[in-house]
Structure 1
Amino acid sequence: MAFPSFLSLQKSAAICILVFLVFAPCGDATRCYESIISFGDSLADTGNLIRMWNPYNIAAVLPYGETFFHRPTGRFSDGRLILDFIAQSLGLPFLRPYLSAEEESDFQKGVNFAVAGATALNISFFHERGIYNAMTNTSLGTQLDWFHESFCTNIHSADCKEKLQSSLVMMGEIGGNDYNYAFLQGIPREEISSSFVPEVISTISSAITKLIEFGARSVVVPGNLPIGCSPVYLFYFKSSKQSEYNSTTGCINWLNEFSMYHNEQLKLELSRLRELHHNTTIIYADYYNAAMDLYTSPSNYGFNNTLSACCGQCMFPNPTVCDEPSSFVNWDGIHLTEAAYEAIAQGLLHGPYTSPHVYEFCILKGSRGAQTSSDHLRMNI
């Protein structure tokens, strides 16, 4: 009796693997997650900031969104984000921004609390240090409050726990803006490393712990991108010292070293959390190295411009836009193009840039009787 069932699962899994490798879902019957719940900043915001009053809502107008959506959606890119590609790979719709929903049913397949410009730390932390955030006063704590007050408390707690257990939680990317505001407003690197990084890591850790208490069992935690390759940072920290630049990529070494420092501290904290929460799979998503591939081997991805922005002066009136965004890594000086986000997403989904691999989520879910063995093989991330 067991052998036909096993062979059937093998056959089904093989078909799913083939389909998944071309970046398409296998279908509802073998879906590993019922929804995605996302937190973060402009790397994940699918339209929350544009629903707030803000004079810096540049993503509310073209050319933002021009490549895929052909209209602005609030995404800080010319098209889709990493989160969008992950949703597509899981056979789920693009996430609705939290501020766009009118009723609970809008969140059936997921909800996005990410807000462009958001920080991990509370806005008061920056005010005390004379740092100004013109984008938003939304922090990770605010996003968690939205989740708790408007997502979980409106339904029975048992249903809330069940919802979280069947969802993939994306914790960020978050924390990048904490450093962006500090660096670009003159705070020394040493102070940011000693005073900001521990607070950011602790805040992210506390948020993950709260979500686990609510019922989360599958959490992806991205690290920071290599900020030393960002045109904004290359402009602000331009130097005549060639030793400050990587001879292969042209990126600023000390800024990338800072990004790596944050990421190492984050990974250490995630290891600690894994020891405390054995029933939850916590994945580190290595945005840094997935992105660095684009700078070290751009031709492998079809890029011929890595260190300048496709959309010049994009944060001002009358932007100038390149003819082929897909040939650029950077979109507007700080955010990336859809082509770059897709390449990073592929590195996460098919490459070595998640640890542990996301398919282990499904293995754990299968051990609780929630999924079949075909799911375990299908999620080859």
Structure 2
Amino acid sequence: MGRVRRININLWSGCLVLVLLNITSIDKGDAELKMEKEEKAMFVFGDSIFDPGNIVYVKGREKWLESLHWPYGETYFKHPTGRFSDGRIVPDFIATLAGLPMLSPYLQPHPTPFTYGANFAAGGVGVIVGQINLPTQLNYLKQVVKSLKQELGDRGAKRILEKAVYLFSFGGNDYLNFHSQNPNSTKSERRIYIDLVIGNLTNGIKAVYSVGGRKFAYLNIMPIGCAPISRVVSSGACEQELMEMAREHNKAFSKALKKLERELPGFRYSIFDYYKSIIDRIKHPYKYGLKESKTACCGVGPFRRSGCGENRTFEVCSEPFEYLWFDQGHPTEKVNLQIADLIWSGPPNLCAPYNVKTLFGY
């Protein structure tokens, strides 16, 4: 592990016809390809796992936000961007694979043209919790829809919205917050809260469907109890109550999506098993070219559980590509790339009933 530093006349006629038909086919094919390319779009909703820097534009957060300080962004951008990683995040890689530009923060002045989509995700939020939670992000989408209609007309906007893929990562912060505020909760109380989160998330999906969304992609909740920030409270082990809530959420959400598929005409979805993918990297890091899967690359304290980028002394590894976690709860760019590749073209045991590449093809 790297050191740690601180801080053939018939024949010819026939041939000619074939050539002309060929040229016509090629021209038509090129036109269709161009149209398809122009109609690709991706709209991103979620938390810090997907945040490209929206949290930077939240009043009162910009001065102290750790992801605006070194060493965040250092691996790829060479400067902090507000992303909670040493480099690119999953939506950045998915956009590239889809032939789209990386989506800038929606809240950034002059963001990426909405014909390509938009990224509404923000750090520290959930389906329910946080200032830029799911309802707020859905309001942002409504503003984008209005803008697209003004620019392209109702028909043009409808085409983009129906062809787009809607990528979601939500829930982790809801359960971390619940666990923090209700350390002695009963199993029935946790079940009620999980149902509340799933209900609100399902309503959110229906809201996107109502404005034209038809293709949805989701990451289920990762094993939040195994993140460096959670291990400390369980003497180095994964925090089992959080693990149970993540598993219960993932199971219930899978059932909810199957129900939506039956109820909503044209609804297609992909659900990526983020939980299973991260757990396997925790247990077998060397399989994935990693050396450390419990301790973060950057931070202070046991497992470097917090403090990365804050205005105080912290430790930072010299080779983030050897680590699963960059900071207390966010993967390194290397792991984000591995996850994005699986979301894009992964097998059915990880990405079902479709992968995102297939969704973009519809």
Please state which band the TM-score falls in when normalised by the shorter chain: 0.7 to 0.9
Give 2:115's aligned amino acid.
Q
Displacement of 1:179 in angstroms is 0.9
Q: Conserved in 1, the CA contact under 8 Å of 2:98 and 2:360?
A: no
Report the 3-state secondary structure (helix = DSSP H, G, I; strand = E; otherwise coil) of the residue aligned with 1:263: helix
Q: Conserved in 2, the CA contact under 8 Å of 1:45 and 1:113?
A: yes
Give 2:282's aligned amino acid.
Y
Q: Conserved in 2, the CA contact under 8 Å of 1:95 and 1:111?
A: yes
Q: Which residue of 1 aligns with 2:44?
A: 38
Give 1:91's aligned amino acid.
G
Give 1:175's aligned amino acid.
G
The structure 2 residue matched to 1:361, chosen from 316, 339, 359, is 359
Gaps of 5+ in 2: 1-17, 27-32, 300-306
Q: Which residue of 2 aligns with 1:214?
A: 211
The structure 2 residue matched to 1:275, chosen from 258, 262, 283, is 262
How many aligned residue pairs are there? 317
Give 1:72's aligned amino acid.
P
- For residues 114 and 109 of structure 2, the distance between their equivalents in structure 1, rounded to whole angstroms, comes to 8
- For residues 276 and 96 of structure 1, the distance between their equivalents in structure 2, rounded to whole angstroms, comes to 34
Displacement of 1:32 in angstroms is 9.4
Displacement of 1:351 in angstroms is 2.6
Report the 3-state secondary structure (helix = DSSP H, G, I; strand = E; otherwise coil) of the residue aligned with 1:307: coil
Q: Which residue of 2 aligns with 1:284?
A: 271
Q: Which residue of 2 aligns with 1:336?
A: 331
Task: Flag the structure with larger Rg.
Answer: 2
The structure 1 residue matched to 2:58, chosen from 26, 48, 52, is 52
Give 1:108's aligned amino acid.
T
Distance 1:140 1:192, change over 3 A: farther
Distance 1:32 1:295, change over 3 A: farther
Q: Which residue of 2 aligns with 1:95?
A: 103
The structure 2 residue matched to 1:183, chosen from 179, 202, 211, is 179
Identity percentage over the alignment?
30
- For residues 290 and 138 of structure 1, the distance between their equivalents in structure 2, rounded to whole angstroms, comes to 27
The structure 1 residue matched to 2:343, chosen from 341, 345, 348, is 348
- For residues 180 and 220 of structure 2, the distance between their equivalents in structure 1, rounded to whole angstroms, comes to 20
Distance 1:68 1:265, change over 3 A: same
Distance 1:298 1:29, change over 3 A: farther
Q: Deviations over 1:38-83 (max 9, x none)?
A: 1111011101101122155111111111111111111001111111
Displacement of 1:334 in angstroms is 1.1
The structure 2 residue matched to 1:152, chosen from 145, 149, 158, is 145
Q: Which residue of 2 aligns with 1:264?
A: 251
TM-score (norm 2): 0.80
Q: Deviations over 1:105-159 (max 9, x none)?
A: 72232211111111211x5xxxxxxxxxxxx5221001101111x2112324433
Query: Equivalences for 1:190-201 in 2 at 5 Å?
Result: 190=187, 193-201=190-198
- For residues 202 and 113 of structure 1, the distance between their equivalents in structure 2, rounded to whole angstroms, comes to 21
- For residues 181 and 90 of structure 1, the distance between their equivalents in structure 2, rounded to whole angstroms, comes to 34
Displacement of 1:238 in angstroms is 2.3
Q: Conserved in 2, the CA contact under 8 Å of 1:164 and 1:214?
A: yes
Q: Conserved in 2, the CA contact under 8 Å of 1:234 and 1:252?
A: yes
- For residues 115 and 326 of structure 1, the distance between their equivalents in structure 2, rounded to whole angstroms, comes to 24
- For residues 182 and 220 of structure 1, the distance between their equivalents in structure 2, rounded to whole angstroms, comes to 25
Q: Conserved in 2, the CA contact under 8 Å of 1:32 and 1:90?
A: no
Tell me how large the CA RMSD over aligned residues is: 2.6
The structure 1 residue matched to 2:202, chosen from 202, 205, 222, is 205
The structure 2 residue matched to 1:225, chosen from 207, 215, 222, is 222
Distance 1:214 1:30, change over 3 A: closer
Q: Conserved in 2, the CA contact under 8 Å of 1:283 and 1:356?
A: yes
Q: Conserved in 1, the CA contact under 8 Å of 2:52 and 2:119?
A: yes
Q: Deviations over 1:74-95 (max 9, x none)?
A: 1001111111111111111111
Displacement of 1:184 in angstroms is 2.8
Q: Deviations over 1:2-48 (max 9, x none)?
A: xx9xxx9xxx9xxxxxxxxxxxxxx9677596111111110111011
* Mapped pair 1:72 → 2:67: no
Displacement of 1:345 in angstroms is 1.7
Q: Conserved in 2, the CA contact under 8 Å of 1:78 and 1:331?
A: yes
Displacement of 1:269 in angstroms is 0.4
Give 2:105's aligned amino acid.
P
- For residues 216 and 48 of structure 1, the distance between their equivalents in structure 2, rounded to whole angstroms, comes to 22
Report the 3-state secondary structure (helix = DSSP H, G, I; strand = E; otherwise coil) of the residue aligned with 2:113: helix
Q: Conserved in 2, the CA contact under 8 Å of 1:290 and 1:348?
A: no
Report the 3-state secondary structure (helix = DSSP H, G, I; strand = E; otherwise coil) of the residue aligned with 1:38: strand
Displacement of 1:360 in angstroms is 4.1
Displacement of 1:278 in angstroms is 3.0
Distance 1:199 1:34, change over 3 A: same
* Mapped pair 1:86 → 2:94: yes
Q: Deviations over 1:225-247 (max 9, x none)?
A: 011211111012327xxxxx5xx
Gaps of 5+ in 1: 13-26, 124-135, 240-244, 246-250, 366-381
Q: Conserved in 2, the CA contact under 8 Å of 1:117 and 1:177?
A: yes
The structure 1 residue matched to 2:297, chosen from 310, 317, 328, is 310
Q: Deviations over 1:331-377 (max 9, x none)?
A: 111111111211222222333321112344256x3xxxxxxxxxxxx
